[in-house]
Amino acid sequence: VTMEDGQRLEKSKLEKKKNSEVTEESWVQCNYCNRWFHQICALFNSRNEESKTSQYFCPMCILRFLDRWCEDHFINPNQNTKGFRAADLPRTQYSDYMEERINCRIKEERLKKAREDGVALCDIPMPGDLTVRVILNKESEVFPRPNLERL
C-alpha cells in the first residue's frame, strides 16, 4: 500500500480494527420546557458556554415566544400608524432630489406610453404616491488604484 507521503507499507503490517467504539454524546437542556437535546442537533456550541451560566432555549420555545411577542406587538390596521411611514421621516436635499427625478421619469414614461397607445396622458394610470427618504448617506472619495487609472 502506498501512503500519501509516498511511503510504502506492506498490507501484512497493518492492524485490523473495528469501528465499534461507542462515544457518549453531549446533551443540553432547554431552560424553559426542560426537554433534552443532543448538542449537535440543537446547534449548541459547548466551547462558547464554558461558564455554564448561559441559558439555552430550544427552537420550539423560541417559536412560542416569537408567536406571543407578535400577538402582543401586532399593528392593528385600524390603528393610527403615524411614525411608521417613510413620509414621516425627515426630508433631505438628496431625498427631495431623488424623489423629483423619479417623478419626472414616471411622467416621461407615461407620456411615452400615451403616444404609443394614441391616447391622452390622463388615460394612462398614475402610480400611487411616491416617497423617498435617505436614511444614511456617506460621502467619501474613491481613488482608483494606479494600475486601473490607465483603463
134 CB-near residues (< 8 Å, 6+ apart): 92, 94, 95, 98
- List pLDDT tens digits, range 42-62: 888 777 766 666 788 888 888
Task: Quick: pLDDT tens for 110-122.
Answer: 999 999 999 988 8
Give yes or no for residue 140 having a pLDDT over 60.
Answer: yes
Question: How far is residue 129's CA from residue 125's CA, in Å, rounded to a whole number?
Answer: 12
| Average pLDDT score, the chain | 80
